[in-house]
Amino acid sequence: MRRALMVWILTVMIAAIFVNFPAYGQSVDKEGKAWLSSCSDPSGLNVTGVWQDAKWGNISLSQHQNSRHVVGSGDGWNVSGVVSGNSVCLLFFNGSKVAYSAKLTADASGNLAGGYVKGLLSEKSKTTSMKLVKSKG
């Protein structure tokens, strides 16, 4: 009985690792680009500037005029993303692996609010709140 319980606990732990593992560490060039392509509306805003979030600190974003593509950095991460309508989809990464992704929507005051997750955001993801406020200056 004791051995069966230990085997069951070990099986559950291994299953939990494999269930959660795919949500973290996907390739920026493959899965990351595919996720960004799902954010496909024409750009409705320009997110160039330095943004602040209570947890993430300063996040610097750059978007060329008439482009949907965004690059930047923040909290020790490289950032790549796209603007889709009044939303921005962002990947946070170091090297070639996605660490976090976020989808944020512009509110009436021009802030970007939404959520982020470890790995790639999906419909089933439980997000953590993120609110970027543009620095004045």
Q: Which pLDDT tens digit goes with each residue over 29-74?
A: 999 999 999 999 999 999 999 999 999 999 999 999 999 999 999 9
> What pLDDT sits at residue 136?
83
Average pLDDT of the residues in 106-121: 96
Q: What's the count of helices (H) and strands (E) in the chain, helices before strands? A: 2, 8
Place of tokens 């939303």: 87
* Residue 67 token pair: 């482009």
Exposure letters 19-47 (e unless 16+ CB within 10 A, then b): eeeebeebebeebbeebbeebeeebebeb
| CATH class assigned to 26-134 | mainly beta
Average pLDDT, the chain: 87
Average pLDDT of the residues in 100-123: 96
122 with 28: CB under 8 angstroms? Answer: no
Low-confidence winner among 15-19, 39-43, 86-90 (lowest mean pLDDT): 15-19
